[in-house]
């Protein structure tokens, strides 16, 4: 009899299941389904690896064609100060920017220009493709460069309502890592700043305040190179980030520990270079480790304009020196020189394995459109021109320029199509894995039930895919269990009741018996132990036992005058007396007096 549990599963007795399907056939069927699903998943994963390899190749070609070192320019909105109208000397096109300086118009070409109305989302959409290279195993470096007060920290960090590149990049990494079922990713974060030529761990426990001329224990970091050429910062705290929430918590903690100061140009000026490193470990066919550097460089500044003195002046000098060293390194890489001066600065030493071959570099140069800052704007754009990995578009013939744009569009479409197909393929793999897990659980349940059947024939099997929509047939009623325990003394029948039962079994008519049976319902639960048929059978058995005992007594040697009533007369008298509470037509109820019955029994004994 099928039963349904609280979870909607159907409880099927193992005996009934084995009658319909042999146990061996059940197991063979499940094994075939599991093998087919495993083969299907293996085929899908092979296709997934092929698509992922094709996507990575197309993305690498796309980025290489655009330039392994790309330069963007973002123009800060014009700010009116001292109630004076400030004139803008900057004009912007899609890939060109022009600056009027001392009556001369200077033009600079970059890969992308973001005007004053550009949003944080507009900037990040251009940054997203290079993040995929970091997940594919390439070292990636994103830098924010520019004059003090032009919005570098705003672009990299953002605000609560307008997130910058760093929090958006972390979110994008977790999103792509969760969608890629072909590999397993683990991410960790480190943060440090280059302050006055020293390295300081921003995630280390806070130390007591120290004098500017001294350095805390968090500054005891050294740069080391491994045999494979990778660069490591010894003593730098590297924290595992299992989810986005933990990553944001650690990033906010490091951001608050950064050194800032007030200057004439910026109320909250960053007096150091802040470096955020995301280490990505990808475990697929092979293990790959890549690094994503997100760097908010200190602002380049002129000492006369900032009004810096003392320690603030020293900080400005250190920032300018490291920025100059960074420009020399990028220029040497662009010209493919054999010697690259990485050791001229701590900043370039740390980034030496993320600026060279197989690495992707993106620099966002920030400028101010104000007439007061025209000198710093020209310097920043000159730095961007040195950093570009390809010549400006004006030096390329028009037909080659059109061919390049066509090839870029083809590669972009190829990457997009591969990503869409991968997303659909990942969904198919997910559904197949869920089905495989269900089959394995069902197979395990069958095996467990079969093993239990050997020790317990009443074991049941839980089958989740059987729909119990039909009610059981009326003939499939539960059998009533009969209790065979000891009967209390007061419930045992007397001699008189046994006589009446014996006599009633011969005298009660057949229709009357059917009517009496109907008084006891047949739909009794399995826990009840009473039934009419069992009582009837017990009464018959006791009547036969009593008759046999009386027949034995007839053979005893007793006196003839003591026998005044024979066993036949007793039977006839008992037969003429109906059961208690019953009447047959107009026939009066006849009873055997109890005291007379006792005298008869005593005389027999």
Annotated binding site: 146-153
Reported as half-sphere exposure (CB side, CA atoms, 13 A), residue 301 has a value of 29
CA distance 540 to 468: 43
Residue holding tokens 């595992």? Answer: 240
Label each residue of 277-337 as H, E or C: EEEEEEECCCEEEEEEEEEECCCECCHHHHCCCCHHHHHHHHHHHHHHHHHHHHHHHHCCC
> Residue 69's CB: how many other CB atoms inside 10 A?
20
Give 3-state DSSP helix, strand, coil % of the chain, rounded to 5.
50, 20, 35
Residue 373 is given by DSSP the state G
∠ Cα 179 184 188 (to 5°): 100
Strands 273-283 and 287-296: antiparallel
Give, for 65, the enclosing helix (H) or strand (E).
helix 23-66
Report the candidate in 203, 289, 183 with the shortest Cα–Cα distance to residue 246.
Answer: 203
> Angle at the Cα of 121 (from 118 to 125), degrees rounded to 5?
105
Q: Helices (H), strands (E): how many in the chain? A: 16, 19
In degrees rounded to 5, what are phi and psi of residue 72?
A: -110, 160
Whether 362 and 134 have beta carbons less than 8 Å apart is answered as: no
Q: How does DSSP assign 412-461, residue by residue? A: HHHHHHHHHHHHHHHHHHHHHHHHHHHHHHHHHHHHHHHHHHHH-TT-EE
Q: Which residues are known binding-site members for ATP?
A: 146-153
Residues paired with residue 288 on neighbouring β-strands, in sequence order: 282
Handedness of CA 336, 338, 344, 347 (dihedral sign): positive
**Hunting for tokens 């036949």 — which residue is that?**
568
Cβ distance 40 to 431 under 8 Å? no
| E strands in 95-179 | 96-101, 104-109, 112-114, 139-146
CA distances from 360 to 255, 293, 328 (A): 25, 10, 17
Residues forming beta bridges with residue 363, ordered by sequence position: 71, 143
Round to whole Å and give the CA distance between 177 and 158: 24
Distance, CA of 106 to CA of 91 (rounded, Å): 10
The rounded distance, in Å, linking the Cα atoms of 423 and 443 is 31
Residues 6+ apart with CB under 8 A from 61: 411
C-beta separation of 604 from 591 below 8 A: no
Whole-angstrom distance, CA of residue 439 vs CA of residue 541: 56
Name the residue with tokens 């006589």: 499
3-state secondary structure of 356: coil
């Amino acid at each position: 009899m099928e039963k349904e549990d609280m979870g909607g599963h159907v409880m099927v007795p193992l005996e009934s299941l084995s009658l319909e399907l042999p146990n061996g056939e059940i197991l063979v069927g499940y094994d075939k389904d599991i093998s087919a699903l495993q083969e299907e998943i293996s085929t899908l994963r092979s296709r997934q690896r092929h698509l992922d390899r094709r996507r990575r190749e197309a993305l690498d070609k796309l980025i290489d064609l655009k330039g392994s070192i790309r330069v963007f320019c973002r123009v800060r909105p014009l700010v009116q100060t001292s109630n004076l109208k400030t004139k803008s000397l900057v004009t912007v096109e899609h890939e060109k920017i022009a600056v009027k300086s001392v009556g001369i118009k200077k033009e600079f070409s970059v890969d992308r220009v973001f005007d004053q109305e550009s949003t944080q989302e507009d900037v990040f959409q251009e940054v997203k493709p290079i993040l995929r290279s970091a997940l594919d195993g390439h070292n990636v470096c994103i830098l924010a460069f520019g004059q003090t007060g032009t919005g570098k920290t705003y672009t990299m960090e953002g605000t609560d309502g307008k997130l910058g590149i760093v929090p958006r990049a972390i979110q994008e990494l977790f999103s792509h890592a969760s969608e890629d079922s072909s590999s397993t990713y683990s991410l960790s974060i480190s943060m440090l700043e280059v302050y006055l030529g020293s390295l300081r761990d921003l995630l280390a426990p806070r130390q007591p305040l120290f004098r500017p001329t001294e350095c805390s224990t968090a500054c005891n970091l050294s740069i080391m190179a491994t045999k494979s050429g990778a660069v490591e910062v010894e003593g730098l705290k590297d924290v595992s980030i299992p989810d986005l929430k933990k990553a944001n918590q650690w990033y906010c903690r490091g951001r608050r520990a950064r050194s800032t100061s007030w200057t004439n140009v910026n109320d909250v000026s960053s007096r150091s270079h802040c470096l955020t490193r995301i280490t990505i470990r990808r475990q697929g066919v092979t293990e790959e480790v890549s690094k994503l550097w997100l760097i908010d460089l200190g602002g380049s500044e002129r000492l006369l304009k900032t009004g810096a003195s003392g320690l603030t002046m020293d900080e400005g000098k250190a920032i300018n020196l490291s920025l100059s060293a960074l420009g020399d390194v990028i220029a040497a890489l662009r010209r493919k020189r054999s010697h690259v001066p990485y050791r001229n600065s701590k900043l370039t030493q740390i980034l030496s394995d993320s600026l060279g071959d197989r690495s992707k570099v993106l620099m966002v140069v920030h400028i101010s459109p104000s007439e007061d800052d025209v000198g710093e704007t020209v310097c920043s754009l000159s730095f961007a021109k040195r950093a570009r990995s390809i010549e400006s578009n004006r030096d390329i013939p028009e037909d080659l320029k059109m061919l390049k744009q066509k090839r870029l569009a083809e590669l972009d479409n190829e990457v997009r199509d591969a990503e869409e197909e991968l997303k659909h393929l990942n969904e198919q793999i997910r559904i197949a894995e869920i089905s495989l897990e269900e089959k394995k659980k069902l197979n395990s349940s069958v095996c467990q039930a079969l093993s239990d059947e050997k020790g317990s024939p009443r074991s049941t099997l839980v089958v989740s895919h059987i729909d119990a929509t039909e009610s059981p047939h009326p003939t499939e009623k539960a059998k009533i269990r009969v209790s065979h325990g000891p009967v209390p003394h007061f419930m045992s029948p007397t001699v008189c009741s046994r006589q009446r039962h014996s006599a009633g079994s011969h005298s009660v008519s057949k229709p009357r018996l059917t009517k009496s049976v109907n008084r006891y319902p047949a739909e009794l639960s399995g826990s009840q132990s009473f039934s009419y048929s069992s009582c009837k059978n017990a009464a018959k058995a006791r009547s036969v036992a009593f008759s046999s005992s009386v027949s034995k007594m007839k053979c005893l040697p007793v006196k003839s005058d003591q026998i005044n009533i024979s066993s036949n007369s007793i039977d006839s008298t008992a037969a003429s007396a109906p059961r208690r509470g019953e009447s047959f037509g107009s026939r009066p109820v006849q009873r055997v007096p109890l005291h007379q019955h006792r005298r008869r029994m005593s005389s027999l004994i």
